């Protein structure tokens, strides 16, 4: 009897104190045939933050947008992270823009993959691609300290069809110019 009273008190304390344990757990203290209904608690989770992507804006936004439009992405072969011959000219042209008109800006390289895999390895592959582009840019004379990198894995597709052309478009490194 004592233990039933004790467990009832503990149950009541847990229920009324809005306790830390958010498990939708059923207190199993009582299991007799004529027990009272057990409270099942749903998780009282709240939306804890609403972060929106920060958008960099300044008075030169028009110029920035124009320059941004001139820098072309670099595309990669399936499961590869080396810059192939077909993309080398495009990369050189990007390096020229980075050194000339965009010389006052920082460069953020965004590595992307196709949809085949949503794990850390895919993110690492995206980063390898960004890293290959960074090396090529530095070799072309772009200051390494201006370049930062990020990998978005498969989470930033430009094309969502189930075709090989589409997957090829998603295996890329994008350039973002940052004031």
SS (H, E, C) 93-110: HHHHHHHCCCCCCEEEEE
132 contacts 88 by C-beta, under 8 angstroms: no
**CA R_g for the chain:** 27
Among 4, 13, 25, 65, binds other proteins (CB under 8 A): 25
C-beta of 125: minimal distance to other proteins in Å? 7
Among 3, 17, 47, 145, binds other proteins (CB under 8 A): 47
Stretch that binds other proteins, among 5-13, 33-41, 59-67, 91-99 (CB under 8 A): 33-41
CB within 8 A of 151, min separation 6: which ones? Answer: 110, 111, 112, 123, 124, 125, 126, 127, 130
Among 127, 136, 137, 142, binds other proteins (CB under 8 A): 127
Q: Does 7 bind other proteins (CB under 8 A)?
A: no
Token readout for 137 is: 């840019």
DSSP, res 146: G
**Segment 71-100, which members bind other proteins (CB under 8 A)?**
77-79
Among 1, 3, 16, 42, binds other proteins (CB under 8 A): 42
C-beta of 90: minimal distance to other proteins in Å? 20
Distance, C-alpha 101 to centroid of its chain:
29
Stretch 135-164: interaction string toward other proteins, x if CB under 8 A: -------------xxxxxx-xxxx-x-x-x
Q: Does 22 bind other proteins (CB under 8 A)?
A: yes
Judged on CB neighbours under 10 Å (0-12, 13-18, 19+), 98 is buried
54 contacts 31 by C-beta, under 8 angstroms: no
Q: Does 104 bind other proteins (CB under 8 A)?
A: no
Residues engaged in binding other proteins (CB under 8 A): 20-26, 28, 31, 33, 35-43, 45-54, 77-79, 108, 115-125, 127-128, 130-131, 134, 148-153, 155-158, 160, 162, 164, 167, 178
């Amino acid at each position: 009897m004592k233990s039933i009273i004790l467990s009832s008190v503990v149950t009541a304390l847990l229920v009324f104190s809005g306790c830390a344990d958010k498990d939708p757990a059923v207190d199993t203290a009582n299991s007799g045939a004529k027990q009272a209904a057990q409270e099942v608690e749903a998780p009282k989770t709240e939306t804890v933050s609403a972060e929106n992507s920060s958008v960099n804006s300044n008075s030169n936004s028009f110029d920035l947008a124009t320059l941004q439009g001139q820098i072309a992405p670099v595309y990669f072969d399936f499961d590869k992270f080396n810059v192939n011959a077909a993309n080398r000219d495009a990369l050189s042209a990007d390096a020229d823009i980075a050194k000339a008109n965009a010389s006052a800006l920082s460069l953020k390289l965004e590595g992307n993959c196709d949809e085949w895999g949503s794990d850390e390895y895919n993110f690492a592959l995206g980063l390898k691609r960004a890293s290959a582009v960074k090396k090529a840019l530095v070799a072309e004379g772009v200051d390494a300290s201006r370049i930062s990198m990020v990998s978005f894995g498969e989470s930033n597709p430009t094309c969502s069809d189930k075709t090989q052309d589409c997957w090829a478009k998603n295996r890329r490194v994008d350039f973002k110019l940052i004031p």
